[in-house]
A and B are shown apart, each in its own frame.
Chain A
Amino acid sequence: MEGQELLTRTQPKPAPSAPVHPWAWWCWAIGIGLAVSGTTNPLLLVLIAMAVILVVMIRRTAAPWARSVRAYLLLALFVVGMRVFFQILIGGGTGETVLFSLPEMPLPDWAAGIRLGGAVTAEGLVYTLYSALRLAVMLLCVGAANALANPRQALKSVPAALYEASVAVVIALTVAPQLIESAQRVRRARRLRGDGVRGLRALGRIALPVLADAIERSMALAAGMEARGFGRTRGEPVPGALPLMIVSSMVALLGAFLLLSTAFWEAATAALVLGAAGTGWGLRRAGRNLRVSAYRPHPWTWRSTGVALSGLLTAAVVLGLGWFDTTYDSVFPSTDPLVWPELTVPMLLAVACCLAPLPLTVPPRFRGVEASRADTRVRALRGGAPA
């Protein structure tokens, strides 16, 4: 304890190898997501997806949440598969290049406009494939952000006024997997009672023990947090901060709406700036009484800036290509008539921006996650069955 006063006065310096701020990774991923929303060029989409996966593979840590990208990849493939399947089944026959024909099912009059089966055209199929691919890559971006930045770590850096909202999210993140675990446990236990009931009635029988368990867990967690001092630095609410925040965020919203949909751009910009400033000030005021400190706070280094910018730059390049008439066709290749999509130099630049975090950041420090003990791995594998 000696020397603590002296120690507290020196601010910790961010190490050169400090991990990139979680919000920087989210900014990178959101930027790429924006870029992806502005193109249907399959070559560009596939290249971006490969770049994102590459960055995740090289820069993720060994923590459990970093394994989630696989699930997102599977979800993305599922989305593409489903879209193509329904396109073939329900059709919507644009274009002339008929690939093959399914037997068409006659539908009653009230379902006019819907066609089941019939001719499958190359144009329709390619159009669906493009838009499904776009959605899939956006999903992948979310997965990448999740894998690179632990959502809980990201929540540690929210403004103080939003602290309680972030705590609610953290508790949900804690209790949700436990709920799944107890649901699996109860479901297995049902067999022991020889219960063959399925469907809705079985759901009721599983829900009661699981809910009772969830309530007990939440109470235990709340008692634990209370006993460890949660909320003691909360202080009195600052008068006027909440109305100020609500009014200014509405002004900002109105400004954004005007800016996007009307020609009053001066008034709109003024409203947007004023509203944003008011919201920021309100957040600061409301959070003033909270004195929660952060263990190993995430420093925002130049690397973080670089990562965030690379995502935004990707968005700027791709959205810019779509803005000009001369380059519009390269990011939105025509599907009727079918043309072979092409890759241009600016597109390669966008992909390079996606990859920029690789030279910008350093590999995650070896986190020393030893091989898990066999029994705990077993517990994870069988989803919380008896240990």
Chain B
Amino acid sequence: MIAWQDVTVTYPDADRPTLRGVTLEIPDGDLCLVVGPTGSGKSTLLGSINGLVPHFTGGTLSGRVTVAGRDTAGHLPRELAELVGYVGQDPLRGFVTDTVEDEVAYGMEQLGVAPVAMRKRVEETLDLMGIAELRRRPLVELSGGQQQRVAIAAVLAAQPRVLVLDEPTSALDPTAAQDVLSAIATLVHEVGLTVVLAEHRLERVMQAADSMIWLPGDGSAEYGPPGEILGRASVTPPLAALAHTLDWATVPLSVREARRRVQASGVTISAPSAPAPISGPAALSARDVEVRYGPISAVRGVDLDLHAGSVTALLGRNGAGKSSLLWALQGALTSAGTITVGSQDPRRLGAAEARRLVTLVPQTAADLLYLPTVAAECAQADAESGAEPGTTRDLIARLGLDLPSERDPRDLSEGQRLGLVLAIQLAARAPVLLLDEPTRGLDYAAKAQLHQILDALADDGVAVALSTHDVEFAALASRRLLLMADGEVIADGNTAELLTSSPAYAPQMAKVFAPVPVLTPADVERGLR
């Protein structure tokens, strides 16, 4: 269905090709996963399917890409619109109209489909994606999962045979991600579409994959069955890490498969020792915190102590109040109740002083960057924090990052940019560090590095709290867990106990080895000894 023949893509100003000599073919009706670290060329490979690379992005493409026999070199992306549907990373950015129904119809209007046929197709597509009841809703009012499904419906209405999705679930909470993935599975199994999907977080999606393309990062590409590719690839979802630990040749793609293999091979592991209870002085103490937006209260009556030297994770649906709580604790958001950090209230201080008590890394970390080079940002951060010149630079080195001084911060990868912002914020030396969704857009290697950084900070006595949708990361990095729903903290306790007792939030290892309460592949490795 889609074939690359000796494809090499080079962007202008790049010192090496992003893709080099790629030759592979995706058969009709496959769900193919594209995996690889950040910057390995996943988006480039996806863009080359409908000709956005190189017609739209620039750069040169040598070799041949054909979709259903049509060469993308001779066809512009718009001429392939009824063959390939393409959904970008942030659905809201790609919307052209303002209601669901109009958005679904837009593609067909461009193709000149007659109005009557168009109405029929719009209805069919709305039903297929399960969004018929949203038809007249304004797009901006939809939740993330609904927006993503509308974006898919919008390209489906033109009846393409191939669907290309670039990280469709990276911004979604587990339930919304599951909605989108099951909609995609329906398209593969019931409609017979060929789906090519790039994703960082493979835990949920890999069991649906028929094949996998691995981009190691040197420009080459490997194609094969997912279980076999994951056995070799450097991307390590928990089940792949488990396979490495137990020396399995292929990676089980689902919890069920892994559980059966574990039972068949007779592996037994001992439960990890119960973690020491979190104690010590509270670095931040909040009582009865409430955040209101007009008539709606986003955070209600939250009591919270963050202890020095501990990492706390906040889990909950989109809109449960996680971000609002973090912003309120920093003092940047108006709130009621009492917040004390070492006998001071960050809300009563100026921005510069509040930052020395509680520092927050926001969800879109790039919002904090405005200077042209990494070096300039570091110097500015030293000045802002009243720290010795070179402090931020040292912090970057201590975080184990290698950031070229002359690089524009906007050209850094997602993980590097987060590292830079983290270093800038840490220069203030606050006893409390808050991170809002830090794992978004990070690959497995960057997440592992973030885990190490947070551990090291906790060892230094910093109280760390982070909000996340990534259960596996929470299991790995935190010792204490807060579950939020509808503005309230509904559970607060030890990460291991809370996660293993929850069916929705249990990490994959806990499901594989239930009832033994293990959370991460590292726990399994320790339990084997």
Contact = CB atoms under 8 A, between A and B. Distances in A.
B107 A228 contact: yes
B86 interface: yes
Nearest to A64: B138
A196 B95 contact: no
Given A188-B332, A189-B368, A208-B370, A8 B114 contact: yes
B305 interface: no
A350 B100 CA distance: 40
A77 to B, nearest CB: 22
**Interface SS of A by simple majority:** helix
Contacts of B191: none
Interface stretch (B117-125, B236-244, B252-260): B117-125
A204 B372 CA distance: 13
Interface stretch (A82-90, A294-302, A353-361): A294-302
A227 B352 contact: no
A79 to B, nearest CB: 27
B110 A292 contact: yes
Interface residues of A, number: 73
A12 B116 contact: yes
A377 interface: yes
A72 B333 CA distance: 30
Contacts of B194: none
Contact of A386 (B108, B118, B362): B362
B319 A374 contact: yes
Contacts of B98: 64-65, 150, 152, 174
B50 A227 contact: yes
Interface string A231-265: 11100000000000000000000000000000000
Given A174-B96, A386-B362, A232 B111 contact: yes
Nearest to B136: A367
A205 interface: yes
A65 B118 CA distance: 26
A386 B333 CA distance: 11
Given A192-B360, A209-B369, A387-B318, A229 B94 contact: no
Contact of B116 (A8, A228, A291): A8
Interface stretch (B269-277, B293-301, B519-527): B293-301
A193 B383 CA distance: 11
A57 to B, nearest CB: 20
Interface of A: 4, 7-8, 10-12, 63-65, 150, 152, 170-171, 174, 178, 182, 185-186, 188-196, 204-206, 208-209, 212, 216-217, 220-233, 291-297, 367-370, 372-378, 380-382, 385-387
Interface of B: 50, 52, 56, 76-79, 81-82, 84-86, 88-90, 93-99, 101-102, 105-120, 122, 133, 135-138, 140-144, 154-155, 158, 293-294, 296, 298, 318-320, 323-324, 327, 330, 332-333, 350-356, 359-364, 366-370, 381, 384-385, 410, 424-425, 428, 436, 486
